[in-house]
Amino acid sequence: MITEAYRILYTSVLVILALLILFCLYRAVRGPRTADRIVSVNMISTMTIIMISVLSVMLKEGYLMDVALIYAMISFLAVVVLTRVYMGIRAEKEKKEEEEHRA
């Protein structure tokens, strides 16, 4: 009986996280700013890591925690790269505006 209650709990948590990921995906597509998009991509990856962890507990498969850790490292690097690209584009745009302002 208690295992059935845990199964229902885990399933409901996974469904709620999936809905939250859809909301974050909407924010990533709609924006309005690039910073909003980067934050929403980071939130999507964090919730995906949580979903993998819940599945690991639900299915009693320990290797899924290793998958979650690897996904966390890749996600961190992806957000850092996206931020660096965004900062580079913004710096170029500011430099171009400054040059136009001087002329």
Over residues 63-81, the pLDDT tens digits come to 999 999 999 999 999 999 9
User: Span 45-54, mean pLDDT?
Assistant: 97
Distance from C-alpha of 78 to C-alpha of 84, rounded to nearest angstrom: 10
pTM of the model: 0.85
Largest CA-CA distance found in the chain, in angstroms, rounded: 76
Domain parsing of the chain, residue ranges:
2-102
User: Span 41-49, mean pLDDT?
Assistant: 96
